[in-house]
Amino acid sequence: MSRLMKLIQTNWFMYWLLAILILGIIAYVMDAAVLLMILLGLAVILIVLKIVANVKSGRIHKP
């Protein structure tokens, strides 16, 4: 799991999030609701993983 956390802390995470955003825009234009929901779920999962990785690395302090 630590290898995944290290990968999420790099800039590659932002590139993946940008790719999901672009695919989401394409799915919205094509009116593909199922694909749009899948991409939205992936984006939420990636954002949560990014927050968890930042908390574990000490960049964000727990309240």
CB atoms within 10 A of CB 24: 19
- Domain membership of residue 40 (yes or no) is yes
Contact 13, 7 (CB under 8 A): yes
What confidence category does residue 59 fall into, taking pLDDT thresholds of 50, 70 and 90?
low
Predicted local confidence at residue 53, as pLDDT: 78
pLDDT of 14 > 80? The answer is: no
- Domain membership of residue 62 (yes or no) is no
Number of domains in the chain: 1
- Domain membership of residue 61 (yes or no) is no
Four-residue CA torsion sign, 63, 52, 8, 32: negative
- Domain membership of residue 20 (yes or no) is yes
pLDDT of 13 > 80? The answer is: no
Predicted local confidence at residue 56, as pLDDT: 78
What confidence category does residue 48 fall into, taking pLDDT thresholds of 50, 70 and 90?
confident
**Which residues form the domain of 15?**
2-56
- Domain membership of residue 63 (yes or no) is no
Alpha-carbon Rg for the chain, nearest whole angstrom, is: 14
Total-model pTM: 0.58
